[in-house]
Structure 1
Amino acid sequence: MKVLADRPLDALMVDVATDAISLLGTTRKDRLRRCPGCNMLFFDGSPPGRRKWCSSTAGCGNRQKIRKHRQRQTNVINSKAGT
């Protein structure tokens, strides 16, 4: 559904509302998730339905992966120092 509005923000809000109504009216509404990194809502369109973050490459997912990597590296250094 296309709606022409005098103001671009109004047109955007109509698109968002239309998509939300379409999504919530389907059985796929359980795929609507909240990102633990930023609390933004996102739709998990992955086939297994196990997406965790709003963005796994450039956003919250990448930051979480970096944190885990640094923690592993710190643990390796600490375990070597303790021997």
Structure 2
Amino acid sequence: GASIVRIQGSCCPWRCFSNQQFQIVSNIGEQVGTIWKKWPGFNVGHNMDHEYFGLEVHLSLDSQTKLLLLAATFLLNHMFFEMS
């Protein structure tokens, strides 16, 4: 299949203690969205495994591409941030 977009981010994202952003770039180099992870901060009374993920995309993208990027958000979480 043909490439639709590229997701660019740090090669070694920190699991904890930091926020992360992955840029979504079209084949012509235009930024069309962002996948982000927000770490809520250290709190003794809470589990450290509570991050927030978000996906922001241009409205011009078709629904299949948006769905693919939503799936990519889950994949990024699994590949880079899950410990178990």
TM-score of the aligned structures, taking structure 1 as reference length? 0.25
Q: Which has the higher strand share?
A: 2
Q: Which has the higher helix share?
A: 1
Larger Rg belongs to: 1
Indicate the structure whose relative CO is greater, using CA pairs within 8 Å and at least 6 residues apart: 2
TM-score of the aligned structures, taking structure 2 as reference length? 0.25
